[in-house]
A and B are shown apart, each in its own frame.
Chain A
Amino acid sequence: MVNRPSTSDLEALAREIRFRLIRMSHEAQSAHLAGALSCVDLLVALYWRILKIDPANPASAHRDRLIFSKGHAVSALYVTLAKFGFFPEENLARYNQHGASLPEQPCPQMTPGVEWATGSLGHGLGVGLGIALASSIQQNPHATFVLMSDGECQEGSVWEAAMLAPKLKTGPLTVLVDFNGWQATGRSRDIMQMEPLAEKWTSFGWDACEINGHSMPEILSALEKPRDHRPRAIIANTMKGKGTSFIEDDNNWHYRAPSAEEVEKAAQELGVVH
């Protein structure tokens, strides 16, 4: 990969990551594949174009921080971290296996590049706010990002943090909501009325926008546009299971894992040679 990959490089990378994720879910027979697939483009944009982060020095005090708050979808983060060089891609073959370093929910003590243990929803934004406040107190100019799910926005603690953040003078803080429209047992809008979501963040004092979370140009433009004093919220409208016709928008894939035949079908649809 060149230093500054083009948009089409990033799109190709996202397809590769999606395929590796599907294969990994098959190999480990692990759940939460669809919610991992929906946030891949956001992760690719962040790691290859935005985050100032060095896999050779993952504990640098000056690194940008990404709190991956939708911990159930951590397989997407693992494939991203492996491709970015935090650990060998071979490790992915032992995802979720006893004694390996890639547990089913993230754990920073076990995996290089993982910033925070998440999985219980609604913790990441408060922690990210603390990290962003520390960067301002310590005059350590790094950026902080929090990637959340839409169902996660039902946690009250998210709105406690959202209410406080604009009042604090923090370093740059950006929330990305992977709005894939589904949660564990149904359509998020049928379970709790969260929309209009961008307006909620705006009314709390955030610089909020809504984008297509699978359009690399839109993601990059939302992340790269100049900041004012406000924290930023990017509501990324996504498709749960994005990338393959048989997983997309079918919530059975919140829990089920693909068969060997389905892995082959996914490779064809994604145009990945393996």
Chain B
Amino acid sequence: MRNAFADEILKLALADERIVVLSGDIGNRLFDKFKAAMPTRFYNCGVAEANMISLAAGLASSGLRPVCYTITPFVTTRCLEQIKLDVCYHNMPVTIVGTGSGLSYAALGSTHHSFEDLAIMRSLPSMNVLAPADAPELRAAMRWAFAQNQPAYLRIGKKGEPVLTEEAAFTAGRWQCLRTGSSATLLACGTILGEVLAAADLLAKENIQVAVWNCASVKPLDLEALSHLGSSPVFSIEEHSVLGGFGSAVAEFLSSRRDPPRLIRFGIPDEFLHDCGEQEEARVYCGLDAASLARRITAEIA
């Protein structure tokens, strides 16, 4: 996804001279083409993320369209007040991109994990929160974000994610139904979509047919889709804490429905991870790999 980000931002910036890239000393060589093509529109702001965000808000207030890029926790929780006040309160069109989100950098430990970014970002007024599932959807989400006149937060993975979506399908506030099935509805948010589709395959082998939705738009939610969910159980699945993120947003909406379906939220448990391992191992530990998901879903709908 990060290579797609670098490629897409180059294309967008060549067509829109307002776009300026700010990096928090990350993306070694990733932006070489961008820097060569537009040297006055790329700035490495150093290991100083709070200032990067305030600086972006200043650029935006003069009519530019900055994007701030670094590893997710450093561009979200570390500089939260700058995002809240300088970006959101002033409603500045700053695009914040957190790379290596969720468990992408599982091996690097809690300093590099981000299980709380969706919860925090979606609580800020005027902020749009997008969690694209793969590279094509990221490109579409970027095009959408730069066409808005508001802040946006994009939570992305690392590299080599499988391609699961069709590029043209992304619209904010609209989710895509990728599979239909009546036993349950799986709402997948972000790069966990691959595991969710694989879990649906495993369930199908057991003659359990589930619907799968790709839910990249965390804020705004797809209220129409949520309003039309029937009575079969709904599962929200995200590589984020079970507290406060996508599943919580779904629960908030469903709790106001007169006849809400049962909602089961799958995510990272409310704890720090202390084990040593890569994203795949961490997903197994959290019960978010395809086999665990299929087993847990079966247990819930039995």
Please give the residue numbers on chain A whose beta carbons come within 8 Å of chain B beta carbons, in ascending order: 61, 108, 116-117, 120, 123, 125-138, 140, 156-157, 160-161, 163-164, 168
Contacts and interface: CB of A to CB of B under 8 A. Distances in A.
Given A117-B85, A128-B58, A130-B56, A61 B51 contact: no
B61 A137 contact: no
A93 B249 CA distance: 44
Given A126-B54, A127-B54, A116 B90 contact: yes
Nearest to B79: A157
Contacts of A130: 54-62, 66
Interface stretch (B37-45, B116-124, B277-285): B37-45
Contacts of A128: 58
26 contacts: A61-B62, A61-B63, A116-B61, A123-B81, A126-B51, A126-B53, A126-B54, A126-B55, A126-B58, A126-B82, A127-B61, A130-B54, A130-B59, A131-B58, A133-B59, A134-B62, A135-B62, A138-B62, A140-B62, A156-B50, A160-B50, A160-B51, A161-B55, A164-B48, A164-B51, A168-B43
Given A117-B89, A126-B86, A134 B59 contact: yes
Contact of A137 (B54, B64, B82, B85): B64
B20 interface: yes
B269 interface: no
B90 A117 contact: yes
**Secondary structure class of chain B's binding surface, majority of residues:** helix
B67 to A, nearest CB: 13
Contacts of B64: 134, 137-138
Contacts of B81: 120, 123
A126 B62 contact: no
B201 to A, nearest CB: 48
Nearest to A126: B54
Contact of A126 (B40, B50, B63, B66): B50
A126 B59 CA distance: 10
A161 to B, nearest CB: 5
